[in-house]
Structure 1
């Protein structure tokens, strides 16, 4: 099987390559992204420069492949990248290039909370991308994960670094919104299983982890598991929106955006949790990861 993967040089894309390296890999994996991979690729993988906003860069990569893994997405907008351009127009380009290349199936990584009526444009554009795929006439499977953690993630690594160096773990609002962190390997293994199961075509799966936390509980778990002292500090929503607006105006890549504030105030929970219900897995706990693999790599 030949597979093309958008966003393949990112955190989740690299987890797919690692998983394939541990088992029988596809005959060829084509990674298409704007930036080259930072680490050497396994022998079955090859990088192609391209961008989902440029259909012409996708067409030669998709030509002759059996399946496309569409992983590209952005959490924070920049002056050069909007949610509409990446999630909606990018998915439309992926579809057009897939049809031109006679691709038989697309698997799309969306997000829990994707809805046309969501408060955040992030989730509304994810839903619009899903609708494009569902109405395309192609064989499509959609995965909606909660926050994904694992090696090189931008979530636990970020907060662990802040807690250890600044001794402060800031919360957006009162920290009572809920999140359902899922280990990247659990997510990847489920996607790989779905590739072998024709009955997963046309399905949308919500993927959560072992436990639902409030953000406040998750920060306390981080402190306890990694053995550092830090103040968990709730921040007023109004203040954070002002700070985020200033960053959007002044920084090329803002650390915090107003959309991110909106998303952090909403629950992000898999209901049902298809990792368990549909794929029969026992999710890897955040605590086990923090006290094991995460701590080992920091030593």
Structure 2
């Protein structure tokens, strides 16, 4: 007997890095599923009797009317790292998710699961987190059951190390001994599905292995069969770069830079989960 029959899950952000893994997991676990996306081409192979593909834009509330009818749980991975197409963090991470939350409330959805990032409350001053945490506040006050999932960086973000390694050198700030454990999207998708039945309001999670930045740099160079060349820059340069970008550019430019440079400056170790290894992710990506 499939316990998931009583659940109908709506997933927003189904074509993104994490969303595509969650979509696949929902289909495999035979959930009644609604997948919404701006462009549904990528999703059409997943359509079946239990899976409905809906074209909608979360930034446009009129495209969402009635979308949550019959839905028990909403999962949103909606968010941007880099602002584009004239959309700001507030437009997407806050307002688009709020549009979805308002529809969920109208339709009597029981639970809303939102994927944010680790230590959001601590980094509210960063442009990306300002919008994410504003939505978290709205979610907490919505009256719905909710769960905020806070992953400790994605494997996909680690491609920046491969990009540096291609040029033969890895540049790090400070001594490079800052530790963290990024997670693969496939492992994180399992956590998102577990959250449907979990009673926890917040899940902080990272991958199975804790690395220093030096170790990730070495791994990236080794994956490309390059000699180990890691340049350590003094930390004041990192702080100066953030200041320059904040002072002389728009949030479109400095948002992702201040986000990565701030989070990479200290240890961020989350409870470990999953089986996917960064070493193999690098190898697969290079294929």
TM range (shorter): 0.7 to 0.9
Q: Do the aligned residues in 2 keep the contact of 1:6 with 1:69 (CA within 8 Å)?
A: yes
Q: Which residue is 2:74 aligned to?
A: 68
In structure 2, relative to structure 1, the CA distance for the partners of 1:242 and 1:167 (3 Å cut) is farther
Q: How does 1:276-287 map to 2 (within 5 A)?
A: 281=273, 283-287=275-279
Q: Which residue is 1:43 aligned to?
A: 47
Q: Which residue is 2:187 aligned to?
A: 186
Query: Deviation of residue 143 (structure 1)?
Result: 0.9
SS at match of 2:147: strand
Q: How does 1:44-123 map to 2 (within 5 A)?
A: 44=48, 45-78=51-84, 80-115=86-121, 118-123=124-129
1:126 and 2:127 equivalent? Answer: no
Q: Do the aligned residues in 2 keep the contact of 1:74 with 1:86 (CA within 8 Å)?
A: yes
In structure 2, relative to structure 1, the CA distance for the partners of 1:228 and 1:246 (3 Å cut) is farther
CA distance in 2: counterparts of 1:171 and 1:146, whole angstroms: 19
TM-score by length of 2: 0.80
SS at match of 1:29: strand
Query: Deviation of residue 4 (structure 1)?
Result: 1.7
Cα deviations by residue, 1:169-222 (Å, 9 ceiling, x for unpaired)? 233555343322112222111221232x2xx23520100122322322221122
Query: Deviation of residue 120 (structure 1)?
Result: 1.8
CA distance in 1: counterparts of 2:95 and 2:174, whole angstroms: 33
1:2 and 2:3 equivalent? Answer: no
Query: Deviation of residue 2 (structure 1)?
Result: 2.7
SS at match of 1:107: strand
Q: Which residue is 1:265 aligned to?
A: 265
Q: Which residue is 1:29 aligned to?
A: 34
In structure 2, relative to structure 1, the CA distance for the partners of 1:85 and 1:267 (3 Å cut) is farther
SS at match of 1:222: helix
CA distance in 2: counterparts of 1:209 and 1:187, whole angstroms: 8
Query: Deviation of residue 286 (structure 1)?
Result: 2.3
User: Size of the alignment, in residue pairs?
Assistant: 276
CA distance in 2: counterparts of 1:135 and 1:214, whole angstroms: 38
In structure 2, relative to structure 1, the CA distance for the partners of 1:168 and 1:37 (3 Å cut) is farther
Q: Do the aligned residues in 2 keep the contact of 1:182 with 1:283 (CA within 8 Å)?
A: no
CA distance in 2: counterparts of 1:252 and 1:145, whole angstroms: 23
Unpaired stretches in structure 1, ≥5 consecutive residues: 276-280
Q: Which residue is 1:229 aligned to?
A: 227
Query: Deviation of residue 68 (structure 1)?
Result: 0.9
How large is the Cα RMSD of the aligned pairs?
3.1
Query: Deviation of residue 75 (structure 1)?
Result: 1.9
In structure 2, relative to structure 1, the CA distance for the partners of 1:245 and 1:38 (3 Å cut) is farther
Cα deviations by residue, 1:32-85 (Å, 9 ceiling, x for unpaired)? 3x3445465312345433333322222232233222111011223347222222
